[in-house]
Structure formats: C-alpha cells, structure tokens
Structure 1
Amino acid sequence: MNRQLQKFLESTDFIRAVKVTVAAATPVILFSYLDLFSIGFTVALGALFTFISDIPGNLRHRVNGMLASNLIATGSTVIISLAAISHWIFYPVLILLVFFLSMIAVYGHRATLVSFSGLLAMSLSFSHSYTGWALLEHAGFMIGGGLFYLCISMIFYFIRPYRYAELQMAECILLTSKYLKLRGRLWDTHANRDKITEKLLTLQIELNDIHENLRETLIRNRTKGGSSNQNRRLLIAHIELVEILELAMATSFDHEKLHQTFSRHPYVLNAYRHLAYNLAALLNQLGQSVEKRKKYTSVHHPFKDLESFKKAIDRYEAETNTDIRTTDEVLVLTNMFNYVEKQVEKIKVVEYTFTHAINPHDLKRKDRELEKLLTPIHYAPITLTQNFSFSSTIFRHSLRLTLTILVGFLVGNVLPIQNTYWILLTIVVIMRPGYGLTKQRSFHRTIGTLAGGIIAFGIISVVHNSTVLGILAMTCMVLGFSFSQRNYPIGATFITLYVIFVYGMLTPDIRDVILFRIADTLIGTILAFTANHFLWPSWEFLSLPTFLENSIKATRDYIKEISVFYNRKGEVPLPYRLARKHAFIEIGNLMASFQRMTQEPRSRQKQLGQYYALVVLNHTLLSSAASMGAFIQSRKTTKASEAFNVITGAIINNLDNAMRLLNEEQQNNISVDTVEVKEMLKLRFTELKEIREKEIMASNGIYDDNFKLKMEEGQLIIEHLIGLTNLSENIVKAVRDIGKSR
C-alpha cells in the first residue's frame, strides 16, 4: 500500500492536479481577502483552461499548447458574449464556433485538448454575460490566469525537468517486464495461451503509447536543446527497450509442439522458462528503482541462468546422442539460446545505464537520424480541409457535438433549469468520437455525479464553516484531477464534491444546487448518449478493416526491410527501424480498434470472431517476422539465395492480396494462380533444403564452427519462411472468408 501511495504522489496526474490547484486557489484566496472574489474566480478559470493542454512532452510544444489553450478559451468566451447581443447572430455564431473548435482535434492529441479547453470555456461563458469594458476586463483576467498557470508549470518543470521522462521510463521498464513474464508463462504446459495472447496484445497498446511519449520527450528535447547526461541515459535505455520488445516478440515458437518434443526432457524448457521469469524479475526491480529514484542493486544473475540453460542444452544433446548441432531439435534449442542471450545482453545494457556514468560517445553509434523516428506533426490548413468529409470521424463527431450542444442549450432554456451551462459541460465532457467511449463515460459520469451529490449532501448538512468547506474543496479538486485519467468515476465524484463545496461557500440553498447538478448531468448524459447512437455514429466495424489493412501493410513493409537487410548485411539501417516502429504501432492500433468494437451494441459487433482471428494472425505474423529479423541481426549470415528472395516475394504478394481483398476488389482482379504459386514455392523450399544437404555432404564430417553456423542459419531461415508463408496464406484466406460473409 505504501508503494502504491508513493507511486500515486509521484505520478504525473497528481503533480498536474497540484499545479492547477495552486494556480486556481491562490488568486481566489488573495482576491477574496480584497473583496474581489469574481476577479479571483476569473483568474482561476484562465488557469484551469490553460492547464487542460499541459500534458508532458517536448517543452516548446507544451508552452505553445498552453498559450493556444489560453487564447482560444479567452477568445471563445469573448465571441459568445458578443454574439449574445442578438438572437439572429447568436445561433449561427454558436454553431460555427462549436464546429470549428471540435475540428481542431484533427491535429492530434495536444490539439484535441486545446479544442476541449475552448469548448469548456464556451460552455461556462453562459454562466454570466459580460459586455463593454467588463468583457475586456474579464478576458484580461482570464489571460492573466493562464499566464500565471504557465509560470507555475515552468517552475515545476525546471525543478525536476526529467521527472516525467523518468516515470515514463520506469513504466516502460515495468510493462516490458510484464510482457516478458507473460511470454514466459506461454511455456507452462497448462497455460491458457489464448488469454495470454489477448493480454500481450493489450500490453502492446500501452507499450506503443509509452514508446511514442519517450521518443517525443527525449529525442525532441535532444534535437532542440542539446543533450544532458540524464537525457542520454534515458535515450539509450529507450533504444534498448524497443529492441528488447522486438526480441520478446521474436520468441514465437510452437509451444505445444515443443512440449511434446521435449516431454521426456522437461528440464530443458524449465531452464528456459526460469531464465525468462528471472529476466522479467530483473526488469521489474530496475523499473521500481527508477520510479523511486533509489539506488539499484541487482539480486538476479542472468548470465548464470543463461549458463544453466546452455548446460541443459548440452545435457539434452549428450543424452540423445545427436550429431553436433545437426538435428532439428538441437537447432531449435540453439536458436532459443541465441535469442535469449541477445536479450540478456540488452537488458544488461539497460541495467548499466542506470548504474554507471554515461559517456557522450556511447550514444553516437545509436542516435543517427533519431529525429526521423519521431511522428511528424503538421499544422497545415490543408489537414483541416481534407477532413471536411463524412469519411472523417472527426468531421462526423464535430457535426454531432454541434447539434447536441444546440439541442442542450434549447432544452436548458425551455425547462426550468437553474444552470443551463451544466448541461453543455456534461455534453462536452462525455461526448467522444467513438460510441464505446461515450457510453462508458456516460455511465461513469452519472455514477460519479450521483455519488458526489449524495456524499456532498451529507457533508453540507453537518459542516457549515466556509474555511472547512474551502479546504475540502481544494482537497477534492486535487483528487478529482488526479483520478480523472486513472479512474474516471472516482474523478467525477471528487469533481462533483469540489463544485458543490464551492457553491456551499457562496449560496445558502445548496440542496437545490445538488439537485440541479444531478438533473443537468442526467439531461446532458442522455443527450450525448442518444446523439452518439443515432447521429452519424462511428461504428468500429466500419473502420476496423482500415486498421487491419494498415497493420498488414506495416508488417509487409517490415518483412520487406528484413529481406533487404538480409541481402545487404551491415548495420541495422534506419528504414528497418522505422518499419519495425510502424509495424508495432499498427498492431496496437488494430487491437485498440477491436477492443472498442467489443464495447459497442451486439448488433454492431459484426464478424467479431473472424476479426479477432485476424488480429491474432497478424500479431503472430509480426512475431514471426521479428523472429527472423532478430536472427539476422544477431548473426553473421551468408549470402541470400535466389530462393529466399522468391519466397519472401511470395509472402509479400500474399499480404498485398489480403489488402486488395479488404478493399473489396474482385477476386479475379488478383493475379494469383494458387496452384502454380504453391508448386513454385515447394520447388523453392526444396531448393533451399538441397543447398543445406549439399553443404552437409561437402563438409565430409568436419563440423567446425563455421559449418555449424551455416547449418543453423539454413535450417532456421527455412523454418521462418515456412511459418511466414503459412501465416500470410491464412491471412488471405481469413480476409476472403470475411468478404464472403459480408
């Protein structure tokens, strides 16, 4: 419990909550002593709107995002106040403003938060109308509040400039540890491999997000402002962790077959599993030390575990009287040993970066063109205009949100509602482009509001002291913003408590406030949920084929780069690393899309089982590709044969066909003669095996190290190609079956 509490107090969410509470509470307290509460409250609003887009990342982007939030929120308030002069002007302006603010989200996550800030400010502007000089003063104080929050945020940043990156790195190490442990569990005879695969896919989504955050923070900071020792340390660890993930994915073996093969020699697989668990435990310990900023002292000895695994292989070889490294079983074990040896080396590098001083030259070999690994950010106007189409999810969401807010405003004016803007706030907070997330937030918001209202009613009935209510309000504000991202129902509960306590200090009829708060939330929730269900809904079964196509394409490009690398040799080129990054990201996006689909109504979960089978197939394909890529990287390989290139070309062609089928092209447009292709591939596989047999015969029984490596390479490359070929054919078949059942 102490560790969880410390982790919570060190978390980015809690620190952000503390910053906004300080920035919002300070002006309210100071101006209240001067009997200028309204000014203090306006300054606090400016701080709150600026805080929304203050998410970690590159410093320049953070500052620009906060300034944009402050200006857009202030501008939205001014526009609504000016438009309220005339009904003829007001409604067109409201419609255009909400639509424009919603469309800003096309520029990415930070822009989405800037958009959210503007929409919140627009909603709150209905709580009080300003005109003339009072409007200018109100806008000035909002800008001042935003700048005040910006200053506080920068103070926190410069006190601990790398703390966010350290926490993200710790989380990345811990998740990688969890990933390795799950991989290790696959070797358990009684393991539920389907369930483990599902968990691995979910972890892939989390790891993709953290890798992207670390790239954005570490590489952009290094590119723009030089590189400190700590930045170099974290960057080296990040690069190695990405490769550790690739190696973890590369250990994709047929576990059931291996258990059958080594059923009489269980000590072999047990030694491998023990090693995998210990590597996961080492990373877990390291992640916790980085998180707590404590000195790391390893209690694990991976090289000893590696030696134990090697002895187990030697023992198996001696007991079965096999020729030196010529049997398939020993080759498989040797391959497993080589993968895990490489993984141990990389884990030790990560361990070293946090226990020793880092030389600036340590990064020179690794950081060539690192900035090219960053996801490009474009704010060109054409990005906005390209999304003016019903094929754009953001465009449909913008129309849906605009119409819902308009209806919410009219409902608030027709019904005897005390604060119409609470309906609008609820709509803005709950509505998301996807049905599943909107449904989830609707439920959580309702639960949180009801719970907060009931708790607040009980407290207000007993506590009448304004100072106590003020302390409770600030405490709830910190907890509310801390939990908003972690646990939305709890966050909504504390935010409701915070709002009611503030009203409790200002108005005597607090019970009416609670009732209206609950009623307005329910109205807003019903409107948001209904709109997402009936107004141009973004059902996931419509977009899932696109995510599937993107994932297949990214994996195809990755296989292409592996083939190029095998032909050219040398150091791992940048295009290979880029292709690997995109393949990992797209399989995560595909799984995220599938998860959203499972949250939608059953009537909209079309071909759910078939799509899940394709998700798993594509993940297995990526694992197999990573396995071959890792093997080629870790060995000095021979010249690629023509047969290798022909077979990889056939695999790539299969994946191209799958993408064409997803685009609903006619089968006769796909220039593939299945029978001829299969016969050709058989000949090519036979050719590869004949090459291997000729080399065995040419050795005349002399099994030197060079010969052994050639035999391993030949056997393992053939196995990888067979696996990739079968998987690519299965993907084509599965896609074709989906097309037939549409």
Structure 2
Amino acid sequence: MFERISKFTNSTSFFNASKVTIASVVPVIILSSFGYFEIGFTIALGAFYTYPSDIPSTLKHKVKGLIVASLIVSGVNLLVNLAHAVPILFYPFLGLLLFFCSLISVYGQRATLVSFSALLSISLSFGHLHKGIEAFQYSGFIFVGGMLYLLVSLVYHYLQPYKYVELQIAEGIKLTSKYLKLRGDLWNPEADRKAIIEKQLSVQVELNLINEDLRKVLIGNQNSSGGSSQNRKMLLVFITLIEIQELALYTSFDHSKLHEKFDKYPEVLRTYQNVAYKLASSLKKLSKNVHTFAVYADKNDLKNELSALETAISDYEKSLSKDAAAEGVLMLTNMLKYAKNQVGKIKIIQRAFTLAMQSFKLKDKDKELEKFLTPQYYPIRTLIENLSFSSSIFRHSLRLTITILIGYIIGELLPFENGYWILLTIVVIMRPGYGLTKERSYNRIFGTILGGILAFGIVSLIQNHIALSIFSIVCMLLGISFASVNYKVSATFVTMYVVFIYGILTPDIVSVIQYRILDSLVGAILAYFANQFLWPAWEFVNTPSHIENSVRANRNYLNEIADYYNKKGEIPTTYRLARKNAFVEVGNLMTSFQRMMQEPKSKQKTLPLVNKLVVLNHSLLSALASLSTYIQSHKTTSASESFNYIIKTILSNLDQSISILKNENNIAHIFFDKEDVTLQFEELKRINFTRLATDDDLDTETRQAKMQEASMVIEQLIWMSSLSEKILKNTKDLKQ
C-alpha cells in the first residue's frame, strides 16, 4: 500500500499537479482571510488555465510559453465580457473566437494545450460575466494567476531542476524493462506472438512520447548553455537508454524457425529466455530507485545467467558434429554477445547515477544534437494552409465551434442553473477522433455520478468548512494528477472538488449535484453526436498516410545502414536521425491503429490489413535494428555486389509501397526478377561461406568471426526481403 502511494507521489503527473494546486490554493487562502475570496478564486482560475501549457522544454521556452498562455486566457475572457454587452454582435463574434482558439492547435503540442486553456477560459467566463472596469479587473486577476503559476513553476525548477527528468527517465527505464520482458515471452513455444507484438508496440508508443519529452529538455539545455554536469549525466543515461531499446529490438528473430531448429534442444532457448527475463528484472529494480539515487546494482552482474548460457551453448555444440552445429552455434553466440552488451549498457546507467561523472562529454557532437529536436516556429502561413476542409484540424475546429454554440444556446433557452458546465464538458471531452471522445464521454458521466454521490455523502455528514476546504484541496490535487492517467478517476475527484466548494458557499448541494450531472450528460451527448455527424474524422482515412510515413522512415533507415556498411568510418548524424524517425513513425502508426480499433465496426473494414502492416513495419524495424547493431559493434568486411543488389530490391519494394499509398502508381520503378534475387542470395552465401571455409590464411578466431558476420547479414537480408515483399503485397490489397 505504502509502496503504491510512494510510487504515485513520485510520478510526473503528481509532480505537475502539485504545482498548479499550490498556485491555486495559496491565493484563495491568503485573500479569503482578508475578505477577498472572489479575487483569490479568480487568481486561482488564472493559474489553473495556464498550467496545461507547462510542457517539457528549456527554461527559456517555458517562460515564454507560460507568459503567452496567460495573456491569451486573460485576453479571451476580457473579449467575451466586452462582446457580451452587444447582443447583436455577440454570437458571430463568439463563433469566430472559438474557431480561432481551436485552430491555433496547428502549431503543435504547446499550441494545442494553449488552445485548450483558451477554450476553458471562454467556457467558464459565462459563469462570471462582468461589465466596464470590472471586466478589465477580472481579466487582470486571471493574468496575475498565470504569472503566479509561472512563479511556482520556476521555484520548482530551481529547487529541483532535474526532478522531472529523473521521473521521466525512471519511467523510461521501467517501460524498457517491460519491453525486454515481452521479448523474453516470445521465446515460449506456445506464446501468442501476435498479442505479444501488439503489447510491444503499445509500450513503444509510450517510450516514444517519453523520449521526445526528454530530448526537448536535455538536448535543449545542452545546446543553450553547454549543459551542467547533471544535465550531461542525464543525457548520457538517456542516450544509453535509447541504445538499450535498439539492442532490445535486436533480439527479434524468426522464433518459429528457431524453435524448429532447436526443437530437440529446448534447454538452450530456455536458458537464453532466463537471461532476457533477468535483464528486464534488473532494469525494473533500477527504475524504482532512480529518483532516490540509491541505484540498484546486481551483485553478480548476471554472471550466473550468462555462464549458464555459455554452458548451454557448449553442450549444444558437443552434442552435434562440427558442421551440423555451426549455424546454430553462430546464432546462439550472437545472442550471448548481445546479452553481454545489454549488461554493459545497464552498468553505464548504474554508474551514471552513483558516480559524479564530471568528465562526461559528447565527443564534440553537442551542436549535432539540436537536429534531433523538432523546430519551434509559428509562421502565419501554417495557419492559412489549414483553412480548408482537407485539414483535419480545420474540420475539428469547425465541429467544436458549432457544438459549443449549440451548447450555449441550449443553456440559455432551457432552465439550466449553470449552463457553462455544458460548454466545459464539451471542451474537456471532445477530441478530433471518434473513439477518444466516446470513451471520455462515458468516463465523464460515470465520474460525475460517482463523484456526486460520494461528495454528497461526505457533505451530509460533515458541515465543517475547514474540513471541506481540506477535502476540496485533496480532491483538486488528485483530480489533476489523474487527468492524464485515468480520466474516469479524474472526473470523480473533480466533481467531488466542485461539490465541496459549493458545500462551503451554498447549502443547496442536492441541486448542485443534479445540475452538474445533467449538464455533463447534455455536453457529452452533444460531443458524441457532433463527432458522429459533423465532418467526422474516421481513422481509416488517415491510416494510409501513417503507413506511408512508417514505410518511408524504415526505407530511409535501411538506406543509411547500407551506406554505412559500404563506407564504414564514423556514424553520421543522418544515420541517427533516420533511426529516431523510424522508431517515431512506427509508434505513430500503432497509435493510429489503436484509434481505429475504438471506432464503429462499420469503419474498421481495413482493420485486418492495417494490423498486418503495423506488425510488418515493426518487424522490419526490428530486422533493421539487428543489422544496424551488428555492423556498429563489429569490424565488418567490405560490402559485396550481391549485398548491394539485395538492398536495392528491398528498397525498390518499399518505394513501390510508398507510391501505391500515395496513389502514384504511374511512377516507374525498377523491378527485380525473383529468380535473380534468389541467385544473388546463393552467390552471397557462396562468396562468404565457401571462401571462408577454404581460406587457410585465416586463424580459427578470425574465421569464426567472419562466418558469424556472414550468417548474421544473410539471415537479416532474407528476413528483410521477405518483409518488404509482404509490405508491398498488403499495401496493394489495402488500396484496392
């Protein structure tokens, strides 16, 4: 129990929620003691409006972002109050304001959250309308609240500048551990590989989000000021964690083939699986202790497990003739080497948290790191380009604007006590996608009913204002903490918070609960039907573009790998960028697939094909990572003509797939005869294995290393060739 509480209080969601809770509660407590509760509450609203835009970034971007957010939320509140005094102009003005505030989300994550805050400010402004000088004063207090939140956020930053990074890295290590555990599960002969791969993809999506946040903070700080010792240390851990994730992909083999090959020797695969589980366990224990700096260190450094695998390989080799065991030993030796490599990576992270590591430097590559960040700029051209129905954000902005206007009219015409709650519900639960809006509608209604019942029971028993104030603060903190984790729980605590506040201000709690439930129900119904009928954004329309982006990213990654294999030397930045993009785009494809699964069955006609393409792209990325990791960590021979020929066939298959997905079937492509490709594979095997077996100038160790390279490269080329053909076939089926 205490472990769960500690885990929750050390999460990023609780960390962020504590900032806005302090910024909201302090002005209310202080100003209420002087008889200015309304001013304190308005300042608290300003802090609440501003906090969503406090996303991971450099300090400079944080300050600028929060100031702009404060100006926007206070500005739109002032405009609503001023326009409301002129009824004939109010409705068209409100529509334009709502549309513009929604449309600014075209500028990315921070703009999307500022857009959300602005819409919240507009919705809640109808609960506190003012005229004349009072409108300016009220808007000013909202801006003060935003500045107060900025102050609290800066205090948190300077007191614990790396707290957020530590929490995110701990979460990244935990998810990487989960990914390794799923990799280990694949070695069970009876494993449901399809279900495991889907779980892996979901974990990869989460990892992509965390990695992007960490890049913004760590690389941004490194580039802006050269980076402190702690920043360099965290950057080392982050880079190592990325390498562990790539190494984890290396263990992606054709498991059916391996189980068939080692059918009579299952013990050797079980031994390797035990190593995989131990690696995952070590990372999991490490993640639990990162924030305390009492980092877990495995006493035997997995020596026992690695020794057991070495013994199993030796026993396997002894049980067969030299020729019969050669291929299997090469495969198992590869697996052993990369298990040792993972152990080495884990040790780097352990040392990073236990040693000062003042001397860590990025080999003068700091200036190259900036290329891994998504540039932040806001040209007006981006806004203009999205003013058409071809833009999903334009359609969503129009849909949201119309729905809020309908909600406002209903609240005005019908006897709702707090009609602005309808608008608030629409803003909070309505999302561009059908599935997420439906889910949030259900969770909102469920949480509102449950929270109302629980809060009513507490208020019926306790009328003490101090106790209710404490309850309201706790519920606010928990409601915000769970907002990004579990919206149903968040809605429950937020409702309880609202009821407790009204329990302090008014005795008629039953009426408050009834109207809140009714308003939430109306808002949820409006949002649901708007997403169903007002220019709906079905995911099957967007999925082909995500597939195209994923195929292209894998294609570019393969091209960089082949180029490096031919040229050798230092690994270029373009190579690392291609690798990053491949991981991100496969994750985006999986996210699109998950959204598609939430939509009505009638909109899921292409779901089986999309599922196949998700798995195929992930498998191709795994094969690419395997080849990439091998050639980076071994001294490889020169690339042969056969190798380059096969690479060209794979690239050609992927290029054709991209053209099909773009509806550019008229573009000419180089087509390779299947028999020629087979001959090239045979030639590649002959060149490598025959030459190596008969070359008397090579010593045993060198011959074994080169045989290992030949086996590894050919195995991955065969797999990638097969995957590229399947991707091409399925893209053709998808577009028919």
Q: TM-score range by the shorter chain?
A: over 0.9
What is the Cα deviation at residue 678 of structure 1?
1.0
Determine the C-alpha separation between the residues in 2 that align with 1:697 and 1:134. Answer: 90
What is the Cα deviation at residue 114 of structure 1?
0.8
What is the Cα deviation at residue 540 of structure 1?
0.4
Q: Which residue of structure 2 aligns with residue 472 of structure 1?
A: 471
Counterpart mapping for 1:525-544 below 5 A: 525-544=524-543
Q: Which residue of structure 1 aligns with residue 30 of structure 2?
A: 30
Maintained 8 Å contact 1:24/1:47:
yes
Counterpart mapping for 1:194-273 below 5 A: 194-273=194-273
Counterpart mapping for 1:16-165 below 5 A: 16-165=16-165
Q: Which residue of structure 2 aligns with residue 378 of structure 1?
A: 377
Q: Which residue of structure 2 aligns with residue 691 of structure 1?
A: 687
- Residue of 708, 711, 731 corresponding to 1:712: 708
Q: Deviations over 1:676-711 (max 9, x none)?
A: 521221232222122124413541496432222222
What is the Cα deviation at residue 522 of structure 1?
0.8
What is the Cα deviation at residue 464 of structure 1?
2.3
Does 1:624 find its partner at 2:623? Answer: yes
Provide structure 2 residue ranges, at least 5 long, that are not aligned to the other structure: none
What is the Cα deviation at residue 536 of structure 1?
0.7
Counterpart mapping for 1:554-569 below 5 A: 554-569=553-568
Match of 1:210, SS state, is: helix
Q: Which residue of structure 2 aligns with residue 330 of structure 1?
A: 329
What is the Cα deviation at residue 405 of structure 1?
0.7
Counterpart mapping for 1:417-566 below 5 A: 417-566=416-565
Match of 1:98, SS state, is: helix
Determine the C-alpha separation between the residues in 2 that align with 1:67 and 1:3. Answer: 38
What is the Cα deviation at residue 610 of structure 1?
1.4
Q: Which residue of structure 2 aligns with residue 188 of structure 1?
A: 188
Maintained 8 Å contact 2:688/2:710:
yes
Maintained 8 Å contact 2:472/2:500:
yes
Q: Which residue of structure 2 aligns with residue 577 of structure 1?
A: 576
Match of 2:637, SS state, is: coil
Question: Amino acid of the residue matched to residue 680 of structure 2?
Answer: R
What is the Cα deviation at residue 239 of structure 1?
0.6
The alignment-based identity, stated in percent, is 50
**TM-score when scaled to structure 2?**
0.97
Match of 2:82, SS state, is: helix
Q: Deviations over 1:48-93 (max 9, x none)?
A: 1122222333222222221122111100011111111212211121
Question: Amino acid of the residue matched to residue 662 of structure 2?
Answer: N
Question: Amino acid of the residue matched to residue 484 of structure 1?
Answer: A
- Residue of 727, 731, 737 corresponding to 2:723: 727
Q: Which residue of structure 2 aligns with residue 680 of structure 1?
A: 676
Question: Amino acid of the residue matched to residue 457 of structure 1?
Answer: F
Match of 1:363, SS state, is: coil
Alignment RMSD, CA only? 1.8
What is the Cα deviation at residue 511 of structure 1?
1.7
Q: Deviations over 1:135-157 (max 9, x none)?
A: 22112222212112211121122
**TM-score when scaled to structure 1?**
0.96
Maintained 8 Å contact 2:232/2:360:
no
Provide structure 1 residue ranges, at least 5 long, that are not aligned to the other structure: none
Q: Which residue of structure 2 aligns with residue 9 of structure 1?
A: 9
Maintained 8 Å contact 1:624/1:720:
yes
Maintained 8 Å contact 1:445/1:489:
yes
Q: Tell me whether 21-30 or 571-580 shows the greater mean CA deviation.
A: 21-30
Counterpart mapping for 1:235-314 below 5 A: 235-314=235-314
Match of 1:369, SS state, is: helix
Q: Deviations over 1:164-201 (max 9, x none)?
A: 10011111111111111111111122222111111101
Determine the C-alpha separation between the residues in 2 that align with 1:301 and 1:267. Answer: 22
Maintained 8 Å contact 1:339/1:631:
no
What is the Cα deviation at residue 471 of structure 1?
1.8
Determine the C-alpha separation between the residues in 1 that align with 2:129 and 2:266. Answer: 77
Question: Amino acid of the residue matched to residue 738 of structure 1?
Answer: L
What is the Cα deviation at residue 290 of structure 1?
0.2
Q: Which residue of structure 1 aligns with residue 390 of structure 2?
A: 391
Determine the C-alpha separation between the residues in 1 that align with 2:714 and 2:325. Answer: 14
Question: Amino acid of the residue matched to residue 204 of structure 2?
Answer: Q
Determine the C-alpha separation between the residues in 2 that align with 1:625 and 1:697. Answer: 28
What is the Cα deviation at residue 358 of structure 1?
0.7
What is the Cα deviation at residue 385 of structure 1?
1.6
Q: Deviations over 1:385-439 (max 9, x none)?
A: 2222222221111000000011111111111111111111111111111111111
Determine the C-alpha separation between the residues in 1 that align with 2:113 and 2:260. Answer: 53
Maintained 8 Å contact 1:205/1:591:
yes
Question: Amino acid of the residue matched to residue 600 of structure 1?
Answer: E
Determine the C-alpha separation between the residues in 2 that align with 1:569 and 1:343. Answer: 23
What is the Cα deviation at residue 5 of structure 1?
0.6
Q: Tell me whether 102-111 or 426-435 shows the greater mean CA deviation.
A: 102-111
Does 1:404 find its partner at 2:403? Answer: yes
Q: Which residue of structure 2 aligns with residue 737 of structure 1?
A: 733
What is the Cα deviation at residue 367 of structure 1?
4.6
What is the Cα deviation at residue 719 of structure 1?
1.6
Determine the C-alpha separation between the residues in 2 that align with 1:473 and 1:73. Answer: 24
Give the direction of change, closer, same or farther, for the CA distance of 1:479–1:696 in structure 2 (3 Å limit): closer
Maintained 8 Å contact 1:29/1:40:
yes
Does 1:357 find its partner at 2:356? Answer: yes
Determine the C-alpha separation between the residues in 2 that align with 1:362 and 1:283. Answer: 24
Determine the C-alpha separation between the residues in 1 that align with 2:365 and 2:169. Answer: 18
Match of 2:507, SS state, is: coil
Match of 2:53, SS state, is: coil
Determine the C-alpha separation between the residues in 1 that align with 2:327 and 2:391. Answer: 52
Match of 1:379, SS state, is: coil
Q: Tell me whether 221-230 or 402-411 shows the greater mean CA deviation.
A: 221-230
Q: Deviations over 1:624-652 (max 9, x none)?
A: 11111111111101111111111101101
Match of 1:327, SS state, is: helix
Determine the C-alpha separation between the residues in 2 that align with 1:671 and 1:15. Answer: 54
